[in-house]
Amino acid sequence: MTFDPFANNNQAATEQAPATPVNTSMPAAVAAAPNPFKIGFTLKAADQMSGEWLTPAVYGQTAQETAERGRDLIHAMQEVGLIDLTAKAASYVRSQHIAPEKPKGKPSFQGGKVQHQAQGGDYECEHGKRNFKDGGSWAAQFCGAPQGVPKDQQCAPLWRQKDGSFKAK
C-alpha cells in the first residue's frame, strides 16, 4: 500500500483516535528548562543550491536521546514518504516556473549595471546589416547603407535603451 498524503482519507483519523477520551481538564506539563540538545539536519536533493532541501530538527534532554530521536525522525520521514513527496512537489513547482527570457547579446558592465550589447548581426534595415557603435555612455545601430548614400536617405539610428534593447527615437 502506498501512502498518498493528498488523499482525503478519514480512515487514518479513526485509527489514530484514542479509545477513551483524553482528559483535557489537567493542565499541560511544562518543562522546567528547554531541551539543551538539538540536532538539525539538512537533506539536500542535489549538489547544487537549486535542489530541494529538507531541514528538520530534533531536541532532547541528553545527547543520546537527541541522537535517537534524529534517527527515528529520518526513518519516519522515509517510511511515511515525506522525502519522496518533497522531491515530487519540488519537481512540480519547478515545472510551473517560467524563466524570464535572457537578453540577447554580449554582456558588459556600464554605469554600474550589466548591459547587454546586441550582436552586430541582430539588426538589419532596408539597406542591409546595421553597424553597431558603442560610445561608452551611448550605443546605437546605424543604417547599413554603403558609403556615399546621403544621410537623408539613410534609415534612422536605433539607440540603446536602459533594458539593452534598441529603438529609433
DSSP assignment string, 58-109: EEESSHHHHHHHHHHHHHHHHHHTHHHHHHHHHHHHHHH--PPPPPPSEEEE
Is the predicted pLDDT of residue 17 greater than 50, yes or no?
Answer: yes
Burial class (CB in 10 A: 0-12, 13-18, 19+), 76: exposed
Domain ranges of the chain: 34-96, 106-147+154-168
Mean pLDDT of 93-97: 79
Of 22-26, 149-153, 157-161, 165-169, where does mean pLDDT reach its minimum? 22-26
Instruction: Supply the pLDDT for residue 110.
Output: 62
How many other C-beta atoms can be found within 10 angstroms of the C-beta atom of residue 143? 20
- Average pLDDT over the chain reads 78
- Is residue 116 helix, strand or coil? strand
**How far from the centroid of its chain's Cα atoms is residue 135's Cα?**
37
Indicate whether this model's pTM tops 0.85.
no
The pLDDT value given to residue 166: 87
* DSSP assignment of 133-155: EE-SS-EEEE--PPTTS-GGGSP
Look at 20 and 41; give whichever has higher pLDDT.
41
Q: What would the pLDDT profile of 151-163 be if each residue is shown by its tens digit?
A: 888 999 999 888 8
Question: At 7, phi and psi to the nearest 5?
Answer: -70, 145
- Position 168 pLDDT exceeds 80: yes
In the chain, the amino acid numbered 157 is P
pLDDT for 104-151, tens place per residue? 666 666 667 766 554 444 688 888 888 888 888 888 898 888 888 888
